[in-house]
Amino acid sequence: MAYLDTIDSPADVKKLNVEQLTELAGEIRESLIRTLADTGGHLGPNLGVVEVSLAFHKVFDSPKDRIVMDVAHQAYVHKMLTGRRDRMHTIRQTDGLCGFMVRSESPHDHFGAGHAGTALSAALGMAAARDKAGTGEHVVALVGDAALTCGITYEAMNNIKHTTKRLIVILNDNEWSIDRNVGGMAKHLNRIVTNPTYNRLHKDFDSFLKKVPFGDRLLKLEHRAEEAAKGILYPSVIFEELGLRYLGPIDGHDLKMLITNLEFCKQSDEPILLHIRTTKGKGAHFALENPEKFHGCSPYDPVTGKSKPSKPAPPAWQDVFGELMLKFCQTHAKLVGITGAMPSGTGLSKLRDKMPDRYFDVGIAEEHAVIFAAGMATMGFRPVVAIYSTFLQRAYDCIIHDVALQNLPVIFCMDRAGLSAADGPTHHGLFDIAYARAVPGTVLMQPKDEDEFQDMFATALTLNAPVFIRYPRGAAMGVPMKDHPQILPLGKAEVLQHGHDVAIFSYGTMLPMAQNAAKLLAEQHGLSVALINARFAKPLDVECVERYARQCKALLSFEDHVLTGGIGDAIIGHLADARIHTPVARVAWPDKFIEWASTNDLLRERHGVTAQAGVEKVMAILREQESDPRFQVVAVK
């Protein structure tokens, strides 16, 4: 009998003994490997937390007891154990399960997250609320060692001791986030794990716990002895200093040991951290051999791990950026690249491998990355901070206070600007035009293709100001790059075709959609359509906007961004200031958080971000104008 077929709720997990749970762990791994081979998803992280997820639901009572997962891309096993097993084939698909925890999806998902470093703060808030309410539930935070490169985690740890006496933290130490972890904390954890004296002593304590029934006197004796051992070996163990009793490290794949230690943690009368060692990708040889690829992967062969064939496509935007960094670093001695634990995702792994002295990985620490770049800029260097649009939001204060206020020439290359369909609302980069436009003295650009990306990069290097270059996830446009980049005139759009009825302003890679709209307006409605590649959201080409607003009956903007604060808003705002009343139709994302889906196209159709939607909006304006004398425009030759 397959045990997995019997699991419909955490109550079913509690019915199984350790031997049965061990078999169930194997079945879960097989199911994950088979299912994600079709859908793609976060394979490696979930294979690594099978046993700890089982142990949590064996020991604790969800949804009364609460578990908060850092990032929560490792929640697939938790979903399988909490009534969603039969929907796992829909993970990250249109109208399917989310690839992260979502509170609206299940009462067992206690806190939603898609960014690192939030779990400890959220769990501490829950514990404080529980203490105030006088209820007795347990709160458990499952954090990866990568979260310990994130400053928010330390802010939470700093507050634990004087906030609550009951909090359980499970530190899942696998040495990886997406890439291998960097920094002092990673080295500190490694020293704890590899110290033979400490490990031998701690195994004795584990054996003691397994053999002797729990009792207050014995627990106090064990605690004092363990404290003495750690005081000799590691007088500066950071967790103890910050008020978390440290327990571990233990094998995170040993179910019996996990269950015993978690039962012990339940009885603790002080905040406690259980340090477990796991293997990312356990159970799939190809995920073990390539943990970076299988952190979050596309569909693959479940036997070999080879990616399933896909249509030939141009290089991804991130790889275009990586090549540009290499190219410009060869001619600019002070150019450096900075990433926040995303060397492959941003394309900076190319710089790391070829020119390591020009590369910095600061860990999951976006605020530090920005201020670190600001510091380098004061010394004459030209830092390029490569961070996903959605993650750069976390460093907004630093952008304003530490870079822009001092007018430091930091270049921000914002990958994943626009949709990131399968990842959903935590990863869509739909707000960056708005948050960058609001900062004084900045320049904001988006290229229509790879060649223009090169021109924008070269242009950014000539500007003594903070510069943002945004570009989406996925394949670029397939346009070859010329040998020598062109310096673009600051704030000047590119007019691709003239027209006198409607002017379309396209921003970045929305150009094919804008071209389609122009074609439909011309062929189906007989209109003369101008097409403009805006290039700059800031400074906006106001001369171009005014010229076409004065000679056309309507303007239409396309952007991969929310309506509020985008380039369409910028056009409307300037026309209002200039007392020009030409109406503006906008195609952009609505004022809501956009869900996840199998492809970007499905989301565009669902939310009206299409060429046809733009045509319909323009035609509605023109029909209104036929009977409204305020919009009778005299064409300007």
Residues designated as active site: 280, 366, 394
First to last CA, the chain: 81
- CB burial class (10 A; 0-12, 13-18, 19+) of residue 177? buried
CA–CA gap between residue 485 and residue 383 (Å, rounded): 20
- Name which of 155, 179, 193, 191 is nearest 362 in CA terms: 179
DSSP E strands: which ranges in 28-174? 66-69, 139-144, 168-173
CA–CA gap between residue 428 and residue 608 (Å, rounded): 17
Strand, helix or coil at 201?
A: helix
- Residue 88 is encoded by which pair of tokens? 């796992």
69-79 in b/e form (b: 16+ CB < 10 A) is: bbbbbbbbbbb
- With a CB cutoff of 8 Å and minimum separation 6, the contacts of 77 are 28, 32, 46, 49, 50, 53, 54
CA–CA gap between residue 413 and residue 389 (Å, rounded): 8
DSSP E strands: which ranges in 86-243? 139-144, 168-173
Q: Which helix (H) or strand (E) holds 554?
A: strand 554-562
3-state helix, strand, coil in the chain (%, to 5): 45, 15, 40
Q: Which helix (H) or strand (E) holds 249?
A: strand 245-251
- Name which of 139, 161, 150 is nearest 69 in CA terms: 139
Q: Which residues pair with 247 in a beta bridge?
A: 274
- Degrees (nearest 5) of the Cα angle 614, 620, 626? 140
Strand, helix or coil at 189?
A: helix
